[in-house]
Structure 1
Amino acid sequence: MLSWYETVSGLIDLRSFSNLWYWIMLAVVWSSASHFVLGVPWDMVLRAKRQGGAAEEDLHDLVRVNVNRLLHIAETAGAGLLAIACFLLTTLTLLGFVYGMEFAQAVDLLAVPLTLVAWLSIRCARGIRKADGADLYRRLHRHRLVTQGIGMAAIFVSAFWGMAYNLGLHPF
């Protein structure tokens, strides 16, 4: 019979690539990232495009609020957030790929592509703020496709690296 400590340490295992929770979290994170485009649920975009009217007005309002919010954060705290993100990503990369910490590698393989998606979201938000409403659907769709592409590449690289790590093919 397993002790309480063995049960808890099995659930909170820092061996990420052999832990089912890491792979579940990876799938959920990328699924959510591609479903919420600039904070707007994709089903709302599709409904507004199909139905128009009130659904389209709601979409424009929600996009306006989220774009203004995202750009306000980027303009007021962007430099500080960039410095913190660079520090954390550098730390994770060094801990993971220089010092061989598996948990840092796993988090880095998740955080680096998400940082790229965040940068692209700010760029897309700036484009939406400058453009007129007719271009909105195209910009949201393109941003979603790029996010999905980054997510697929990130999942592939994580799976490849995790498989190599579990087979003992890592250089550490």
Structure 2
Amino acid sequence: MEIKKIGDVVEKYIGYHEGARFQIGEYGSTLTLLYKNPTKNEIEDISKGDIQYRITVVEDVIFLLFKFGSQSYIDCPYNINKNPDIILDELEDGLGYSCLIELIDCRNGKLKAFRFISFSTNFSQKLKQFVDEQREKYVTDDNIRAAFSKYSTNDLVKLSSARGKITRQNND
């Protein structure tokens, strides 16, 4: 696992388009947020503001939805079939999957913020259920395009079946 610090350059994201990517890997999940020239408020919201997160499935695609502070919800489609070797462990009550959140300025690839969180048990169990169910389906980018053509981010938020919240971290 690669250790990064604020200001490091992640070369593969230089010149990337804005957006969000959710991936599950060997050491947990990662939410990569790609913003062009993120503002001080966006950096603050992501690094230590309130986080709301939700999950739903439409068109056989898992959508994770995140809201940082006063920002709007962000939608992230996920397809286990792009990394089928990943197996999510069963969880005991009171435990949740981990997620590293990283904010990268896609103009220059600089890491502007990161944060490590744990999802709630209920949300994590729903994520595992959806991943296991999706594994049995043939999900492609066409499914993702179909979902985006029918549902707005606000629609996906309303359709969510599990949610969680993390309140502001005061490190001052």
TM-score by length of 1: 0.30
Question: Larger Cα Rg: Structure 1 or Structure 2?
Answer: 1
TM-score by length of 2: 0.30
